[in-house]
Chain A
Amino acid sequence: MYPENLRYTGEHEWIRVEGGSGVVGITHFAQDALGDVVYVELPETGRVVKAGEAFGAVESVKSVSDLYSPVGGTVTGVNAELAGRPELVNQDPYGEGWMIVIELADPGEADGLLSARAYQELLKEG
């Protein structure tokens, strides 16, 4: 449910840092709370985002949630597959349901995010 190799935010995004870049998506908890995802609004590559800034939105039939960037940096990739298959966010939130790749402005920034355990603690607190 919450892979150990990822870092998490209180807004239910995850990031997987690989070198100077991070892959970002939403957690199992988030996709489950949203229900069937019907559309993912993603930024264009090249956009510079700050940590905590909204970079897009994810829509289910009757709700919409902003997507917040876990870290600061430049968007270098977006998951184009989601345009036609938004259900990937539900089916495989940590794999094919990824959303964007960010080139980290500060490679150490992700270390300050929640671990899998800390995130699960947060969920328990509700």
Chain B
Amino acid sequence: MIGKTTNQRAWFLVLPVVVLVAFNALIPLMTVVNYSVQETFGNNVFFFEGVKWFEQILHSERFHASLLRQLSFTGIILLIEIPLGVAIALAMPKRGPWVSVCLVLMALPLLIPWNVVGAMWNIFALPDIGLLGRMINGMGFDYNFTQQPLAAWFTTILMDVWHWTSLVVLLAYAGLSSIPDAYYQAARIDGASSWSVFRYIQLPKMKRVLTIAVLLRFMDSFMIYTEPFVLTGGGPGNATTFLSIDLVKIALGQFDLGPAAAMSLIYFLIILVLSWIFYTLMMRNEEQ
């Protein structure tokens, strides 16, 4: 008979990970959950309030407005960045010395710290001294992003497109380079048009990386904070107050910990659910 000894000491090996995860994820998250169901007063006095803050946030017009702005912003930049990124990747050279030049140029915006991007574009777009601002006004348009909501949106979107399209380009380019030459040769022999080559070879082969690109761009843009904060500060008025900017205003400006915590959790759930929907939709056909 073979005796089976039970040795529980192996648990000690996972202890460091458990501690680490507890401190950087579980405890902060549970603190937020804790705040979200309590009313906070000075001197660390708390009252249990149940789902009151959740109801308040979900019925608040301010939250609806921020959420709508956030959804529009994310929708617009996805609609611009994904097709533009794919188009640039298709136009990039496949081989030769220009490949590395293009790749480096593409990677540059990604290497710039986010608040620097905001500051750069702030100065770049100022109507009186900025190059872009002067140019647009010089062409006869009345443009001032610090005062006109439309101009503020235009500038924020342009900034995000400049900053992040490269990521889509690099991912799409990686997808394109993984296509063996035989596919293009077979398509030529089959008499496929360049649209067919794109539709039936390039696009399907890029599908996985594009799924990643859409997910990354969705999550990142949905959580965008630094760049609009530096560029417009959420203004003019509340025109570019996206969810995270609004959240910071509630949590740190007004110090309403309960509503802020409830909003954080709702925010988190929205991102989670939307990411899942995106992923499921884009991978729908993969299993068959």
Q: Are A and B co-members of a single complex?
A: no
* Interface of B toward A, CB cutoff 8 Å: none
